[in-house]
Amino acid sequence: MPTHRLCSENLSVGYENRLVLESVDFRVAEGRLTVLLGPNGSGKSTLLKTLARTLTPLRGRVLLDGHDIHHHRTREVAQRLGILPQSPSAPEGLKVRELVGMGRFPYQRIWRQWSQEDERAVSEAMSLAQVTEFAERPVDALSGGQRQRCWIAMVLAQETDLILLDEPTTFLDLKVQVDLLELLVRLAHERSRTLLVVLHDLNLAAAYADVLVMMRAGRVEHRGSPDDVFTAANLKQVFGLDAAVMRAPNTGRLVCVPALGGTAARGTIREETPA
Ligand code: ADP
């Protein structure tokens, strides 16, 4: 029986009296990469923030290591759980090494100076996320993909077993997205980290997730292995998407190919050859 260090019970969350999550029972599988999928506005970010204690539920609770997360001290939570929100922004001119160093805040004390342990964690995180070569450059002078890797390095420097990432691959080139997912899978499988990641790319989610969770309108609709969950019927129900699901010939993983809409389905427009 797998254990669950992070889970929610009967979680209802809302903003100004509008309920966004309704009675969500959720558990994050240990040492696995769980990917959260769902249409815009289905409540993925809200769930992530509530699991990380950034938002307080209206009803229900989040359990971290068996205790209500709201009964843990902030530092305790930060030593066990790291979260990277959507589109984070760094202060102007902040160097990469300084940003990554911010991941060490849960270990800082007034009486404890920056230690060799902090230095090691920052170097290792930069190396894992492949940003060492940018260490002395300002974060705001990097490309979107490089910057995103720096933020991930910051979360890694926190050295938590639980890592929550909200759309970490948005705006990245496909190759950079793939590299990032390879890194996340390695963290789960080789370093026993537990990852919960919101992704928008269906095919990358199906290719890399150990556990796939589909949300719609504030509820978890499907949860399981990609083979069980990534079906044409579920894509239609959750996203309203007409698509065929098949195995990619090169990877054997499931991929979806959306059906063509009316315009494109009528046929290819041929370019006129000038006489
Ligand atoms: P997702 O991450 O799946 O796109 P979100 O959790 O961001 O969904 O949003 C779920 C719903 O909650 C949306 O209708 C959104 O407009 C609303 N919402 C999100 N954040 C806030 C906020 N700070 N204040 C009010 N409503 C919000």
Could you tell me the pTM of the whole model? Answer: 0.91
Ligand 1 centroid from CA 90, angstroms? 23
Which residues have CB under 6 Å of ligand 1?
15, 20, 38, 40-46
Give domain status of residue 254, yes or no: no
Residue nearest to ligand 1 atom 14, measured at CA: 41
**Same domain flag for 3 and 132:** no
**Same domain flag for 129 and 171:** no
Domain span including residue 194: 1-80+160-229
Domain end marker among 158, 176, 211: 158
Q: Position of tokens 């530092």?
A: 75
Residue 220 to residues 24, 98, 161, 216, 228, Cα–Cα distance (Å) = 7, 38, 24, 7, 15
Using DSSP bridges, classify how beta strands 81-84 and 162-166 pair: parallel, antiparallel or unpaired.
Answer: parallel
**Same domain flag for 75 and 208:** yes
**Which is nearest to 150 in space by CA: 98, 193, 194, 189?**
98
Give domain status of residue 131, yes or no: yes
**Same domain flag for 176 and 225:** yes
**Same domain flag for 11 and 131:** no
H, E, C per residue of 51-94:
HCCCCCCCEEEEEECCEEHHHCCHHHHHHHEEEECCCCCCCCCC
**Domains contained in the chain, number:** 2
* Tens digit of each residue's pLDDT, the chain (275 residues): 456 889 999 999 999 879 999 999 999 999 999 999 999 999 999 999 999 999 999 999 999 999 999 888 888 899 999 999 988 888 899 999 999 999 998 877 666 678 899 999 999 999 988 899 999 999 999 988 889 899 999 999 999 999 999 999 887 889 889 988 999 999 999 999 999 999 999 999 999 999 999 999 999 999 999 999 999 999 999 999 999 999 999 999 999 999 987 666 566 566 666 65
Ligand 1 centroid from CA 57, angstroms? 14
List, in order, residues 6 or more apart from 84 with CB less than 8 Å away: 151, 152, 154, 155, 163, 164, 165, 166, 168
**Same domain flag for 136 and 170:** no
Give domain status of residue 271, yes or no: no
Give domain status of residue 135, yes or no: yes
